Amino acid sequence: MSLLLWCLLIAGVLPILAKAPVVYFQNRDNGYDNKHPRAQQQRLLGRGARAVAGHYNAYEAFPLFAAAILAAIATSQVTERIEFLGVSFIVLRVLYHIAYLSNYDKLRSLIWFLATLCPVLILAQIALSV
Protein backbone atom coordinates (compact mmCIF):
# COMPACT_ATOMS: atom_id res chain seq x y z
CA MET A 1 0.00 0.00 0.00
CA SER A 2 2.83 2.43 0.73
CA LEU A 3 3.97 2.20 -2.91
CA LEU A 4 0.53 3.37 -4.03
CA LEU A 5 0.62 6.23 -1.54
CA TRP A 6 4.00 7.28 -2.89
CA CYS A 7 2.56 7.15 -6.42
CA LEU A 8 -0.34 9.31 -5.26
CA LEU A 9 2.03 11.83 -3.70
CA ILE A 10 4.23 11.97 -6.80
CA ALA A 11 1.19 12.32 -9.08
CA GLY A 12 -0.01 15.19 -6.91
CA VAL A 13 3.37 16.93 -7.16
CA LEU A 14 3.81 16.40 -10.91
CA PRO A 15 1.64 19.40 -11.87
CA ILE A 16 3.75 21.61 -9.62
CA LEU A 17 6.97 20.27 -11.14
CA ALA A 18 5.50 20.78 -14.61
CA LYS A 19 5.31 24.49 -13.78
CA ALA A 20 9.12 24.80 -13.78
CA PRO A 21 9.47 24.87 -17.60
CA VAL A 22 6.58 27.35 -17.77
CA VAL A 23 8.41 29.69 -15.39
CA TYR A 24 11.58 29.29 -17.44
CA PHE A 25 9.82 30.33 -20.65
CA GLN A 26 8.01 33.18 -18.89
CA ASN A 27 11.35 34.48 -17.61
CA ARG A 28 12.67 34.41 -21.17
CA ASP A 29 9.66 36.53 -22.18
CA ASN A 30 10.91 39.81 -20.67
CA GLY A 31 10.80 38.41 -17.15
CA TYR A 32 8.11 36.67 -15.15
CA ASP A 33 4.95 38.80 -14.95
CA ASN A 34 3.71 38.02 -11.46
CA LYS A 35 0.81 40.47 -11.76
CA HIS A 36 -0.62 38.77 -14.87
CA PRO A 37 1.02 35.34 -15.19
CA ARG A 38 -1.82 33.70 -17.10
CA ALA A 39 -1.97 36.51 -19.64
CA GLN A 40 1.76 36.10 -20.14
CA GLN A 41 1.37 32.34 -20.48
CA GLN A 42 -1.22 32.85 -23.21
CA ARG A 43 1.32 34.88 -25.18
CA LEU A 44 3.95 32.15 -25.11
CA LEU A 45 4.65 30.34 -28.37
CA GLY A 46 6.35 27.08 -29.33
CA ARG A 47 7.93 25.23 -26.42
CA GLY A 48 6.60 27.79 -23.96
CA ALA A 49 3.03 27.21 -25.09
CA ARG A 50 3.57 23.45 -24.97
CA ALA A 51 4.98 23.77 -21.44
CA VAL A 52 1.82 25.58 -20.35
CA ALA A 53 -0.41 22.96 -21.98
CA GLY A 54 1.56 20.13 -20.37
CA HIS A 55 1.31 21.85 -16.99
CA TYR A 56 -2.47 22.15 -17.27
CA ASN A 57 -2.79 18.58 -18.51
CA ALA A 58 -0.94 17.31 -15.44
CA TYR A 59 -3.73 18.77 -13.30
CA GLU A 60 -6.36 17.20 -15.56
CA ALA A 61 -4.82 13.73 -15.28
CA PHE A 62 -4.63 13.70 -11.48
CA PRO A 63 -8.29 13.25 -10.37
CA LEU A 64 -8.95 9.95 -12.16
CA PHE A 65 -5.64 8.52 -10.96
CA ALA A 66 -6.26 9.68 -7.39
CA ALA A 67 -9.73 8.14 -7.43
CA ALA A 68 -8.36 4.84 -8.70
CA ILE A 69 -5.60 4.66 -6.12
CA LEU A 70 -7.91 5.62 -3.27
CA ALA A 71 -10.47 3.06 -4.45
CA ALA A 72 -7.81 0.35 -4.47
CA ILE A 73 -6.76 1.23 -0.94
CA ALA A 74 -10.33 1.64 0.36
CA THR A 75 -11.41 -1.75 -0.98
CA SER A 76 -8.18 -3.50 0.10
CA GLN A 77 -7.53 -4.43 -3.53
CA VAL A 78 -3.83 -3.58 -3.50
CA THR A 79 -2.24 -6.11 -5.83
CA GLU A 80 1.04 -6.27 -7.72
CA ARG A 81 -0.84 -5.45 -10.92
CA ILE A 82 -2.37 -2.33 -9.39
CA GLU A 83 1.02 -1.28 -8.03
CA PHE A 84 2.52 -1.84 -11.49
CA LEU A 85 -0.21 0.31 -13.05
CA GLY A 86 0.36 3.02 -10.44
CA VAL A 87 4.10 3.17 -11.13
CA SER A 88 3.45 2.96 -14.87
CA PHE A 89 1.16 5.98 -14.65
CA ILE A 90 3.91 8.04 -13.01
CA VAL A 91 6.56 7.00 -15.53
CA LEU A 92 4.22 7.60 -18.46
CA ARG A 93 3.19 11.03 -17.19
CA VAL A 94 6.84 12.10 -16.93
CA LEU A 95 7.47 10.79 -20.45
CA TYR A 96 4.31 12.57 -21.60
CA HIS A 97 5.63 15.92 -20.43
CA ILE A 98 9.03 15.32 -22.03
CA ALA A 99 7.35 14.38 -25.31
CA TYR A 100 5.13 17.47 -25.08
CA LEU A 101 8.08 19.81 -24.56
CA SER A 102 9.99 18.07 -27.36
CA ASN A 103 7.05 18.45 -29.76
CA TYR A 104 6.66 14.71 -30.43
CA ASP A 105 2.92 15.02 -30.95
CA LYS A 106 2.03 11.48 -32.01
CA LEU A 107 4.25 9.88 -29.37
CA ARG A 108 2.79 12.27 -26.79
CA SER A 109 -0.74 11.23 -27.72
CA LEU A 110 0.14 7.54 -27.45
CA ILE A 111 1.75 8.10 -24.05
CA TRP A 112 -1.29 10.09 -22.92
CA PHE A 113 -3.56 7.20 -23.92
CA LEU A 114 -1.43 4.62 -22.10
CA ALA A 115 -1.21 6.80 -18.98
CA THR A 116 -4.98 7.36 -19.00
CA LEU A 117 -5.52 3.63 -19.39
CA CYS A 118 -3.67 2.92 -16.11
CA PRO A 119 -6.32 4.29 -13.70
CA VAL A 120 -9.10 2.91 -15.91
CA LEU A 121 -7.58 -0.57 -15.63
CA ILE A 122 -7.13 -0.14 -11.88
CA LEU A 123 -10.80 0.72 -11.47
CA ALA A 124 -11.85 -2.11 -13.78
CA GLN A 125 -9.82 -4.63 -11.79
CA ILE A 126 -11.37 -3.40 -8.57
CA ALA A 127 -14.88 -3.54 -10.04
CA LEU A 128 -14.35 -7.10 -11.22
CA SER A 129 -13.00 -8.17 -7.82
CA VAL A 130 -15.70 -6.71 -5.61
Mean pLDDT of 54-61: 97
User: What is the per-residue pLDDT across 75-107, written as a single tens digit (0 to 9) for each?
Assistant: 999 999 999 999 999 999 999 999 999 999 999
Count the domains in the chain: 1
- For residues 82 and 125, the answer to whether their CB atoms sit within 8 Å is yes
User: What is the per-residue pLDDT across 20-49, written as a single tens digit (0 to 9) for each?
Assistant: 999 999 999 989 999 999 999 999 999 999
- For residues 50 and 101, the answer to whether their CB atoms sit within 8 Å is yes
Q: Which residues neighbour 94 within 8 Å (Cβ) at sequence distance 6 or greater?
A: 14
Sign of CA dihedral 52, 58, 61, 67: negative
78: CATH: 1.20.120.550
Residue 25 lies in domain: 2-129
